[in-house]
């Protein structure tokens, strides 16, 4: 698709190379402050200080609040495969043995496939689905038969039962274990090495309990929307997609024809022209700065007459949209509507191909 678009835009750059020496005329009787019709589905608007505000609403880059339900207060529940470390104070014979060469993880008690672990005197103790406080209370009650007022501590030293998966455009896709500390979306992505350079943090997907939820993580980073940095729960699958660039295209008599990135910011017409070096001196007709835009009603064409430097102030108020095509005409052209008529077939092809590609 990108190769096809590049070839099509290259063809657009050739449009308007006319051998005639007629000065490029702006037909003010046909192009006024309102719209003038060139064909049945094209509106041409000559930008002015009086009408530019109607076309200058900045694109909203703010992400919506995710619809994913909140996980609520995070409490870790012990599961199969977890390893417990148990201490009974003043009773070393009941404390999980450890030494210089054995860590609590190595010497701890593992929850078996049935959800139990074995403990001296009391036998099998249920653990699956319980918190450490609940297990502690159960052990204290059972040990009270043998020990007066037992003081017990229970903690998880091996978190193996619950996890989330982080996939897609992260540096180290992995299974991220859940612990007694809440794991947020950003923490999970950081644990997977962070985002790649081609990741799109605005369109992260979290799959939970058979449903997929879109989360604009960038909205949390930029605007503090806390819901967009949710606490994850067991079984969540986080997928970070490849970013789909949003660009505008600058062609014709420009110093450095190319693309302008619009993915992360609003860019005005004047900013875009400045970033590509401006108009070619001696070749460009400043009266012929056109912006072609696909709208639900068809292709709209906006014209900026930049012969007066003050016109660039108008351009600072005109916000570009993704897929806009900015075309600067060459001086020896016959008529402005001939240029537009020549460009439309190619632009329609580009927009149609873009829709098919999506």
Q: What pLDDT does 101 receive?
A: 60
Q: What pLDDT does 244 receive?
A: 84
Q: What pLDDT does 310 receive?
A: 85
Strands 116-119, 123-126: parallel, antiparallel or unpaired by DSSP?
A: antiparallel
Q: What pLDDT does 102 receive?
A: 65
Q: What pLDDT does 275 receive?
A: 93
Q: What pLDDT does 56 receive?
A: 80
Q: Which residue ranges of the chain lie beneath pLDDT 50?
A: 1, 3-5, 7-40, 99-100, 332-334, 356
Q: What pLDDT does 42 receive?
A: 63
Question: In terms of CATH architecture, what is 163-240?
Answer: Roll (3.10)
The boundaries of every CATH 3.10.560.10 domain in the chain are 2-59+266-357, 163-240
The boundaries of every CATH 3.30.1950.10 domain in the chain are 83-158
Q: What pLDDT does 224 receive?
A: 87
What gap in Å lies between CA 11 and CA 343, rounded to an integer?
9
CATH class of the domain comprising 83-158: alpha beta
Task: Specify the fold of 2-59+266-357.
Answer: Outer membrane lipoprotein wza fold like (3.10.560)
Task: Please state the pTM of the whole predicted model.
Answer: 0.66
Closest C-alpha to 4, from 239, 354, 330 = 354
Strands 163-168, 237-240: parallel, antiparallel or unpaired by DSSP?
A: parallel
- CA end-to-end distance (rounded Å), the chain: 10
């Amino acid at each position: 698709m990108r190769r096809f678009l590049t070839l099509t835009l290259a063809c657009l750059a050739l449009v308007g190379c006319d051998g005639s020496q007629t000065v490029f005329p702006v037909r003010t009787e046909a192009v006024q402050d309102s719209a003038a019709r060139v064909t049945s589905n094209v509106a041409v608007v000559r930008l002015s200080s009086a009408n530019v505000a109607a076309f200058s609403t900045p694109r909203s880059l703010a992400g919506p609040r995710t619809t994913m339900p909140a996980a609520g207060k995070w409490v870790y529940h012990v599961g199969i495969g977890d390893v417990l470390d148990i201490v009974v104070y003043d009773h070393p014979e009941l404390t999980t043995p450890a030494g210089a060469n054995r860590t609590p993880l190595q010497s701890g008690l593992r929850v078996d496939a049935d959800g139990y672990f074995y403990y001296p005197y009391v036998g099998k103790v249920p653990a699956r689905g319980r918190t450490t406080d609940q297990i502690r209370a159960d052990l204290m009650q059972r040990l009270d038969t043998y020990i007066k007022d037992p003081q017990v501590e229970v903690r998880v030293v091996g978190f193996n039962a619950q996890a989330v998966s982080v996939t897609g455009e992260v540096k180290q896709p992995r299974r991220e274990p859940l612990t007694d500390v809440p794991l947020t979306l950003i923490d999970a992505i950081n644990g997977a090495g962070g985002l790649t350079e081609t990741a799109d943090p605005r369109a992260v997907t979290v799959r939970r309990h058979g449903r997929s939820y879109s989360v604009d993580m960038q909205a949390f980073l930029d605007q503090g929307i806390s819901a967009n940095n949710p606490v994850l729960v067991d079984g969540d699958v986080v997928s970070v997609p490849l970013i789909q660039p949003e660009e505008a295209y600058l062609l014709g008599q420009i110093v450095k024809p190319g693309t302008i990135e619009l993915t992360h910011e609003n860019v005005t017409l004047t900013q875009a022209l400045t970033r590509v070096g401006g108009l070619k001196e001696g070749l460009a007709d400043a009266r012929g700065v056109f912006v072609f835009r696909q709208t639900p009603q068809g292709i709209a064409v906006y014209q900026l007459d930049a012969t007066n430097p003050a016109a660039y102030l108008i351009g600072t108020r005109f916000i570009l949209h993704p897929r806009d095509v900015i075309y600067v005409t060459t001086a020896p052209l016959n008529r402005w509507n001939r240029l537009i008529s020549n460009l439309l077939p190619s632009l329609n092809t580009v927009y149609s191909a873009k829709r098919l590609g999506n």
